[in-house]
Chain A
Amino acid sequence: MKQFFKRALTVSAAALMLPSLQAQAAETVNIYSNRQPYLIQPILNAFTKETGIETKVVYAKKGIAERLAREGKNSPADVVLTVDIGRSQELMDKDVVQPIKSAVLEKNIPAQYRDPEGRWFGLTVRARAIYASRERVKNLDLNYEDLAKPEFKGKVCTRSGKHPYNLALIASLIAHKGEAAAEEWLRGVKANLARKPQGNDRAQVKAIKEGICDVSLGNSYYLGKMLTNEKQIEWAQAVNIVFPNQSNRGTHVNISAASVTKYAPHKEAAVKLIEFLSERLAQKMYAEQNFEYPVNPAVEPSGLVESWGKFKADTLPLSEVAKHRKTAAKLVDKVNFDG
């Protein structure tokens, strides 16, 4: 008798669970994210509050494209949140995302920061800046090209040339000036390195503070992050942020982006989410939380970021940059940049 009850209970519980899962599924959007929880979660909470649509996030640093390709039609994912145009390109190469048409997105996001066919949409913009020692670098009218000049011999620090941020910068050089010039530049920078490429962008600013080098490459938002970090504020105070190439093509910028997956089970909710992310509220949250530039021109950056001044961004479409990424990686190998 006891056995019977137990079994009946299990069966009915299972029966109850099925429809409830489905009911939940109808109002849920599933997200695979490269972006970290501290940044994404508050914005997603705001989205749920406004639309009633629940969100479920799988955070992964690497390998989202592979995972989607492997899961194929069975993938539960609706939206992918990535960092770096290279990752968005990878999603397209693996054919795991679909084109989206949305008037809201086209209005909120400038054309250069979204795929012409709507397979990725930029949500935030970051500049690849040059950090220069306040003490030792007086001329702040710098170009990326200067980092390869003899005057900076033994004074340049950077993270690995293979990092997506640097690959995108090199790809933009290839797009503007051709492969040979980009290779020349890489050789020049390598010859100027104060030490073998290592650490992250912030570690380079720290090295400037320690006197190991005078200039480094780094994303703009790291300055905000260091200035608001008790331990790192003294690193940040040792440098000026320089937006390079202001008198010519403009500073190379990159994006964090969103895509709708090819087999998104909740496509409508997915589009709604990305639209929400491009609107003022979410854009403001991104800007305040992570010191990135809002992609939506109607939204202003955080006060701190605004205090660094306005800059001219390279207008080359990022889809062009993405095309040269593999060539950029090959060049880094060819000149043995990290070795």
Chain B
Amino acid sequence: MSQSIQAVGAGPVWGWRLVAFTAAAFVCLPLVSTLWLATSSTGEFWTHLWSTVLPRYVVTTLELMAGTGILTALFGLVSAWLVVCFDFPGRRFFSWALLLPFAFPAYVIAFVYTDFLEYAGVFQSALREIFGWDSPGDYWFPEIRSLGGATAMFSLVLYPYVYLTTRAALLEQSGNLFLASRSLGRGYLGTLWSVLLPAVRPGLAVGLALVLMETLNDFGTVDYFAVQTLTAGLFDTWLNYGDVGGAAQIAISMVTFALLLIYLEQFSRRKVRVYQSRTRSPIQRARLNTVQSAWAILFALHW
């Protein structure tokens, strides 16, 4: 009897394994071919790059990732917290509208914002009109095509990753936890920081990891913003120095860095246990008063 069950079970399991294996192999193909390409370069260009622009590329990349990481974490977490834990007019609308930036590639949004905010754009033109300035020397305005601009752009486009994963994690939490903390006298922000944050940290980390990898691998947006990250070095090595193998080596370094990030994240929470009560009671949404609601809506509408 048990044999026949096994026999019946074995077929599909093997089938699925084959499917999974094929899929995995297919996904790994680019990685393997990149590794293969990387062996084709002697790597002599590294000396030149290291002694010239590479340190700058690395620093810029880290700055961009740090900035984008902090902003997306903040915005993703707070917006998820608002739509899960509170009730205010438009909450239902925002709970899906906050995902909308997903529909646009970062560089498209970059085009739109730059067009609006640059010197000849609508915004600065209006300022000049109002204040009677007529040349760039007359006033100061932040440079849109800069590291800061790129960070803002990535944050605007990528925060939904954090929002999505954090919201899912928050919805998993027991309302009792929330209530207990509140009844012990902690405020909303205190509860968010010391009770909810540790509980949703795994979800937030997953979202954040995705954000950072997207930032790391982007070329279009950073190129448009004249911000040189490692991808600039990669294309440069490939197209201007004609060294595909070298470009592949840079790519491998970037993949390694991404893997390191994931590992660090997992390592850092090896002792954290996430409790989930069996009898889950959903979080009771707290009603916000008018002023609070206005703030919440303003926040959700983007800065």
Which residues of A are interface residues toward B (Cβ below 8 A)? 62-63, 65-66, 90, 93-94, 160, 162, 167, 195-199, 206-207, 210-212, 325-326, 329-330, 333-334, 336, 338-339
Contacts of A63 in B (CB 8 A): 238-239
Bound complex: CA A230 to CA B86 (Å): 51
Say yes or no: A94-B242 contact (C-beta < 8 A), given A210-B119, A211-B135, A336-B56.
yes
- Which partner residue on chain A sits nearest B124 by CB separation? A210
Contacts of B120 in A (CB 8 A): 206, 210
Query: Are A196 and B226 in contact, CB atoms less than 8 angstroms apart?
Result: yes
Top-4 shortest CB links A-B: A198-B226, A333-B52, A329-B240, A211-B135
Bound complex: CA A162 to CA B234 (Å): 13
- Which partner residue on chain B sits nearest A338 by CB separation? B228
Contacts of B244 in A (CB 8 A): 66
Query: Are A93 and B242 in contact, CB atoms less than 8 angstroms apart?
Result: yes
Q: List 8 A-B contacts (CB under 8 A).
A: A198-B226, A199-B145, A210-B119, A210-B120, A326-B242, A329-B241, A334-B52, A339-B53
Say how far A37's CB is from chain B's closest CB, in angstroms: 21
Say how far A95's CB is from chain B's closest CB, in angstroms: 12
- Which partner residue on chain A sits nearest B240 by CB separation? A329
User: Is B302 located at the chain interface by the 8 A CB criterion?
Assistant: no
Contacts of A167 in B (CB 8 A): 240
User: Is B30 located at the chain interface by the 8 A CB criterion?
Assistant: no
Query: Are B52 and A336 in contact, CB atoms less than 8 angstroms apart?
Result: yes
Bound complex: CA A8 to CA B147 (Å): 63
Q: Tell me whether chain B's interface is mostly helix, strand or loop, or mixed.
A: loop
Say how far B251's CB is from chain A's closest CB, in angstroms: 14
- Which partner residue on chain B sits nearest A194 by CB separation? B136
Query: Which of B49, B53, B137, B225 has the largest count of A CB atoms less than 10 A from its CB?
Result: B53
B residues 193-245 with Cβ under 8 Å of A? 225-226, 228, 236, 238-242, 244
User: Is B48 located at the chain interface by the 8 A CB criterion?
Assistant: yes
Query: Are B48 and A338 in contact, CB atoms less than 8 angstroms apart?
Result: no
Query: Are A339 and B228 in contact, CB atoms less than 8 angstroms apart?
Result: yes
Bound complex: CA A207 to CA B242 (Å): 32
Contacts of B226 in A (CB 8 A): 160, 196-199, 338
Contacts of B48 in A (CB 8 A): 330, 333
If A196-B145, A197-B226 are given as contacts, then 11 extra A-B residue pairs at C-beta distance below 8 Å, sorted by A number, are A63-B238, A66-B238, A198-B145, A211-B136, A212-B136, A326-B241, A326-B242, A329-B240, A330-B48, A333-B49, A338-B53
Interface residues of B toward A: which range? Answer: 20 to 34
Say how far B220's CB is from chain A's closest CB, in angstroms: 12
Query: Are A212 and B119 in contact, CB atoms less than 8 angstroms apart?
Result: yes
Contacts of B225 in A (CB 8 A): 198
B residues 9-37 with Cβ under 8 Å of A? none
Say how far B282's CB is from chain A's closest CB, in angstroms: 50
Contacts of B241 in A (CB 8 A): 326, 329
Contacts of B143 in A (CB 8 A): 195
Bound complex: CA A197 to CA B232 (Å): 14
Contacts of A325 in B (CB 8 A): 240
Bound complex: CA A181 to CA B239 (Å): 25
Query: Are B56 and A339 in contact, CB atoms less than 8 angstroms apart?
Result: yes
Contacts of B228 in A (CB 8 A): 338-339
Query: Are B136 and A336 in contact, CB atoms less than 8 angstroms apart?
Result: no
- Which partner residue on chain B sits nearest A207 by CB separation? B119
Other-chain residue from B52, B119, B239, B242 in contact with A62 (beta carbon distance below 8 A) = B239
Bound complex: CA A289 to CA B52 (Å): 41
Bound complex: CA A196 to CA B60 (Å): 15
Contacts of B56 in A (CB 8 A): 336, 339
Query: Are B136 and A210 in contact, CB atoms less than 8 angstroms apart?
Result: yes
Contacts of B52 in A (CB 8 A): 330, 333-334, 336
Say how far B129's CB is from chain A's closest CB, in angstroms: 15
Say how far A212's CB is from chain B's closest CB, in angstroms: 6
Bound complex: CA A94 to CA B245 (Å): 13
Contacts of A160 in B (CB 8 A): 226
Say yes or no: A329-B236 contact (C-beta < 8 A), given A90-B242, A336-B53.
yes
Query: Are A162 and B240 in contact, CB atoms less than 8 angstroms apart?
Result: yes
Bound complex: CA A330 to CA B48 (Å): 8
Bound complex: CA A335 to CA B228 (Å): 15
Contacts of B239 in A (CB 8 A): 62-63
- Which partner residue on chain B sits nearest A198 by CB separation? B226
Bound complex: CA A289 to CA B257 (Å): 47
Contacts of A93 in B (CB 8 A): 242
Bound complex: CA A211 to CA B119 (Å): 10
Contacts of A329 in B (CB 8 A): 236, 240-241
Bound complex: CA A327 to CA B99 (Å): 47
Say yes or no: A162-B242 contact (C-beta < 8 A), given A212-B119, A333-B48, A339-B228.
no
Contacts of B119 in A (CB 8 A): 207, 210, 212
Bound complex: CA A32 to CA B113 (Å): 35
B residues 123-137 with Cβ under 8 Å of A? 135-137
- Which partner residue on chain A sits nearest B54 by CB separation? A333
Query: Are B236 and A162 in contact, CB atoms less than 8 angstroms apart?
Result: yes
Contacts of B145 in A (CB 8 A): 196, 198-199
Bound complex: CA A330 to CA B239 (Å): 13
Say how far B206's CB is from chain A's closest CB, in angstroms: 33
- Which partner residue on chain B sits nearest A329 by CB separation? B240
Query: Which of B120, B240, B244 has the largest count of A CB atoms less than 10 A from its CB?
Result: B240
Bound complex: CA A199 to CA B137 (Å): 21
B residues 240-255 with Cβ under 8 Å of A? 240-242, 244
Say how far A97's CB is from chain B's closest CB, in angstroms: 14
- Which partner residue on chain A sits nearest B120 by CB separation? A210
Contacts of A211 in B (CB 8 A): 135-137
When each residue 42-74 of chain B gets 1 if its CB lies under 8 Å from chain A and 0 otherwise, what string results?
000000110011001000000000000000000
